[in-house]
Chains A and B, each alone.
Chain A
Amino acid sequence: MAHLAIAVGGDGRVSAQTAEPQTNSAVSAYEAVIGLEVHAQLLTRSKMFCACSAEYIGKPANSNTCPVCLGLPGVLPVINRQAVEYTVLTALALNCEIPEFTKFDRKNYFYPDLPKGYQISQYDMPLSRNGWLEFEVEGAPVRCGITRVHLEEDTGTLHHAGDVLQSARSSLVDLNRAGVPLMEIVGEPDLRSAEAAREYLVRLRQILMYIGVNDGNLEQGSFRCDANVSLRVRGSDALGTKVEIKNMNSFRAVHRALQYEIERQAAVLAGGGTLVQETRGWVEARGATVSQRSKEYAHDYRYFPEPDLPPLALDSAYTERVRRTMPELPAARAQRLQEKFGLSAYDAAVLTAAREDADAYEALASQVPAKLAANWLMGDVAALANERRVALHRSGLGVDGLAALLRLLDAGTINGPTAKALLEELYESGGDPAAVVQERGLGQLDDEAALLAIVDEVIAANAAAAADFRAGKEAALGRLVGQVMKATGGKAQPQLVNRLLRERLA
């Protein structure tokens, strides 16, 4: 896979961002080797091993718990069927093999957010392995291997005075999150740049959201990422000393942290130093990674098979049944929309970024011209959704309302500015655009004779602009069109006004 290596720093972006510009030459002598581990909470109703709700955010501390997720003496776990199915679905979307036999293991370590003193996870027989994810980075295709996708349980959360538990004066434990199903997606070290790593995460998150297993929230931590980064001399096959990077809570943080780490390691190596195998945390405020612990303190997790859970046999019939529930994935959908509606690759990618957007587009494109639907969704609707922080499918207007509005526009019943004004007005409140147009008489003025009278009045009242246009200043026409629109209360059909003005001024 190394043949797809993208030169780090070769595009000049590195030197633009680097805090230590002198390392730039050092960076280009090395190739970065990056592997990502993603933890994604599953959108199941209940927790991984008990009946408590998997929705834990915003609840009073420790209220979303039961004897099982509190790890009380005598309790036993019971596997959440839906979580297994979601993990299999994810694995299939990532082209993984699903072995017919899988089991859970205990990962043993002490920490106050881990109520049983072990996490139920999967060690040597994960639910799936050997998949891949394909995407493009700066126009070049990248295929990143997926080592495995496995299932485990999330921990609780700690709230302490100070940054570090060990030095905090007091700490409070909240186990509302403990036991929420967590999927771990381990990627191969096939990524060669911070850009590639970011793109991998964007695509992975998109797929998880498409298939409905994860809500993709990096800030709240339902989608979390750790990275392993090492450097090697360009052209070499050997692997360098690996550093694990944690605490990256946004795509931007991932990109910055990896870029920083690549430069830091290059500087150490170029200076003749050696790297330590360690865990480093990204500190956003300092724009730097900071050492957290070195390998001497690495845990021995003493994995062993979870004796409270019999192994799971997932036969091929089960896997096929799950496969049949797979929705069309974003890359395939973008390709199909390109072909079906003649969209550009860029437009198709934007319109299929989220499944709801793609659904909206397909619904609209079946009712109004595809290009019109694309322009509105990517333009005014996207801007409005962003500004009001309400996606179209959750807005009052909804996809159906927008379709009705665009049908009026397409039929010439209303003009563009009216449509835009109605979009803004009805976006949150909702309503039937046709009824509003009827009620307020917003229908387009397309009576040529009536318009012609107004056109003449405007030309008479704006002699200077008329003269400018006649003298060859095209821009002057715009002023006149604007005046006509104003005189008609915005209802005139702009193309008609344009034609009439040109005829009169010819």
Chain B
Amino acid sequence: MNNNFYIKSSVSIKKHKIVLDETEVFSSATDGFTAFSKEAYKNFEINYPKFFKMDNLSKLAFLGADLLLKKQGLNATDNDIALILANKSSSLDTDATYQETIADKENYFPSPAVFVYTLPNICIGEISIKHKLYAENSFFIFEDFNPKFLKEYSEFLIQSKKTTQVLWGWVEYFKKDYQATMYLISKEGKQVHSLENITKIYTQ
């Protein structure tokens, strides 16, 4: 039995720059992530109005996943690609935005559209809806980037036949600092799924 796993395709979004399979595909000098993500959305002709309703963490994860998955020639109705995402700050950035809507007791209008994003796994839902991923999914939180756990967990999902491919991602957004490192793990590919290669993509 073939026990090797490969990184089929990878994407990195940070510092207003998007790198897809080791090639820079977009960059911008605009101010702030919201404006940057809008430019990227237009550039890649994503054409999905719900994008603008998302919070920044979801926009970040959605953009990365969309660029990766578009290259894969997915089925229109049903796909088996597990989503294993993680970060450090959970949804704290949006939590703080929501907290502001309940801080003033005289002007108390909690927003349901903000509240729903105070759960980090909502970005998994957004990606699943767009790409019809009826598959295993979990969101993890770590004080520090933990490639070892995420690597082993993802490979186990394929090995135990719970899924055929895994979309793996570190998606962090907190106080304007952001980074998305995402890739697709499969039994086919050229780049071996090793800790060295994961770290290379994470730091590139």
A-B complex is real:
no
B-binding residues in A (CB < 8 A): none
